[in-house]
Amino acid sequence: MEENMDFMKEAVKEAYEGINEKHGGPFGSVIVKDGKIVGRGHNQVLLNHDPTCHGEMMAIRDACKKLGSHDLSDCSIYTTAAPCPMCKGAILWANISKIYYGCTIEDTDSIGFRDEKFYESWNEGNDGNYGEETGREECLKLFSDYSKMQHDLY
């Protein structure tokens, strides 16, 4: 579809902006709602010294700010590479309905990024290597106190 290619070209432009400014890797994204770009972002890991500043994350932050909402239902994301697990999680949390990506995980791996390692870790159930339950009773009390409060779920 030609419209999809136009949005992907905008994601590629974002990526070029980032690599030309040495902000990070070749990852750019745009978020689209009702045929209009509502969020843009490119990898800024090096610029911000922050490993969470992937292109998708930056585009989500931009779209949420512009729309005044944490809920990006009815939005699509166009991104230059298949999202890593962190970004895919953020996309799901934001309720983005469709992901369009250019390069595959294998393509990303071929230029030196290690996304595959994270997918393997999740698929093999290696969470035990990094996490250990502690302070559960205190945290359960926190959750109980929160449940008793009047609040909006997101």
Query: Which residues are annotated as catalytic?
Result: 56
Q: Are 22 and 51 in contact (CB under 8 A)?
A: no
Query: For residue 95, what are the CA distances in angstroms to 19, 56, 67, 154?
Result: 28, 13, 14, 10
Instruction: Please report the DSSP string for 88-107 in residue order.
Output: HHHHHHTT--EEEEEE-HHH
